[in-house]
């Protein structure tokens, strides 16, 4: 890929330089024609003026005078050509450097997108390959076992069904990430009510893990996407329940300041390192060490989806966390608000 972008950078820079050179040549030709015509007219005016000044008392050789005029005009045009040539070299030289910088800046977002796509493809392939390999191994072992019992076959099917459900959930998440046409559609909603309804959906899951969810919400009506808000908050709640640990507390608060509605979801769980925090919203990023201790599951797509949901509403999502001391996720949504 590096070689491909180097070639693309060279080609784009060359295209910019060629375009600049053509523009310089065009304007230089135009300037030369105007200046050359002006030189001829000026030399003629000088001779006429000289004649008028001297009157009939001065005898001049018309042929020698014309040759001298032509020679002077030619020298002036030659100097003009040299000056235009030097100016063009300077402009094209400086333009080449700028063309390289502009070409590099133009290609940088494309290069980053290609890198992200390559990482995404690689991670997705790995995520699919691992459960498929496990299923294949289990099935092959079962087929070689001539004394396989019905109970063992059922256990195998249940195990494979779990893997299928896991892959199905990941496929749905990937499709959701690829689909964003309706995410930005906004309607006036009671955002506090939407958050409360979302919390209710996760209360049973929290209760099972002996986790309490407390909330303090600012009531407001604003223009946003109800489904996007609900799912984004739900993702943060689901994430907090997974990593908060038993007998812990999750707090969901919201404030309204300067036409920015902020939703915070905080827990006092395992937290994360600064290195992980810097890439937590990237696809397939998970706190792997935490997963092994907490026995959590997932594909690392939730927070990436949450960021896309919030971004579609022209909002932003941030995180503050310390290892062993919990995390605070904040969703900030700008809106024309009616309190």
| Euclidean distance between CA atoms 299 and 310, whole angstroms | 20
Residues 333 and 191 in one domain: yes
Please tell me the total count of domains within the chain. 3
Residues 138 and 226 in one domain: no
Given 75, 91, 116, which residue is the final one in a domain? 116
With cut-offs at 50, 70 and 90, classify the pLDDT of residue 119: low
| Euclidean distance between CA atoms 190 and 219, whole angstroms | 7
Residues 275 and 204 in one domain: yes
Residues 19 and 112 in one domain: yes
Render pLDDT for 67-105 as a digit per residue (tens, 0 to 9).
777 888 888 888 888 988 999 899 999 999 999 998 888
| Euclidean distance between CA atoms 284 and 173, whole angstroms | 11
Range of the domain at 229: 187-338
- For residue 305, tell me if it sits in a domain: yes
With cut-offs at 50, 70 and 90, classify the pLDDT of residue 261: very high
SS3 of 58, please? coil
Render pLDDT for 141-173 as a digit per residue (tens, 0 to 9).
888 888 888 888 888 888 888 778 767 766 766
Given a cut of 80, is residue 181 above it in pLDDT? Answer: no
Residue 291 is predicted with a pLDDT of 40
Residue 194 is predicted with a pLDDT of 94
Q: Which residues of 230-242 are buried (b: 16+ CB within 10 A; e: fewer)?
A: bbbbbbbbbbbbb
Given a cut of 90, is residue 338 above it in pLDDT? Answer: no
Residue 295 is predicted with a pLDDT of 42
- For residue 124, tell me if it sits in a domain: no
Q: How many CB atoms lie within 10 A of CB 57?
A: 5
With cut-offs at 50, 70 and 90, classify the pLDDT of residue 322: confident
Residue 182 is predicted with a pLDDT of 55
Mean pLDDT (the chain, rounded): 80
- For residue 123, tell me if it sits in a domain: no
């Amino acid at each position: 890929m590096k070689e491909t972008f180097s070639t693309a950078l060279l080609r784009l820079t060359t295209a910019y330089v060629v375009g600049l050179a053509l523009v310089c040549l065009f304007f230089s030709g135009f300037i030369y024609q105007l200046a050359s015509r002006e030189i001829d007219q000026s030399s003629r005016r000088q001779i006429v003026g000289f004649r008028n000044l001297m009157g009939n008392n001065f005898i001049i050789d018309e042929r020698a005078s014309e040759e001298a005029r032509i020679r002077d005009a030619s020298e002036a045009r030659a100097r003009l050509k040299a000056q235009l040539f030097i100016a063009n070299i300077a402009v094209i030289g400086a333009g080449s450097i700028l063309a390289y910088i502009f070409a590099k800046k133009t290609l940088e977002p494309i290069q980053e997108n290609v890198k992200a796509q390559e990482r995404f493809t690689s991670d997705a392939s790995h995520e699919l390959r691992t459960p498929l390999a496990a299923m294949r191994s289990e099935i092959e072992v079962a087929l070689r076992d001539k004394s396989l019992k019905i109970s063992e076959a059922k256990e195998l099917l249940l195990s494979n069904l779990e893997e299928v459900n896991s892959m199905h959930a990941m496929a749905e998440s990937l499709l959701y990430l690829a689909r964003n046409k309706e995410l930005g559609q906004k309607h006036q909603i009671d955002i506090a009510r939407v958050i409360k309804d979302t919390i209710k959906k996760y209360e049973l899951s929290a209760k099972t893990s002996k986790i309490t969810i407390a909330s303090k919400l600012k009531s407001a009506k604003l223009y946003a996407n109800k489904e996007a808000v609900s799912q984004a908050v739900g993702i943060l709640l689901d994430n907090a329940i997974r990593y908060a640990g038993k007998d812990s507390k999750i707090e969901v608060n919201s404030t309204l300041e300067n036409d920015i509605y902020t939703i915070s979801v905080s827990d006092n769980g395992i937290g994360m390192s600064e290195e992980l925090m810097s890439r937590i919203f990237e696809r397939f990023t998970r706190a792997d060490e935490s997963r092994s201790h907490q026995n959590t599951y997932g594909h690392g797509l939730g927070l990436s989806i949450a960021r896309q949901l919030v971004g579609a509403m022209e909002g932003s999502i941030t995180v503050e966390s310390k290892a062993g001391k919990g995390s605070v996720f904040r969703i900030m949504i700008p809106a024309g608000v009616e309190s």
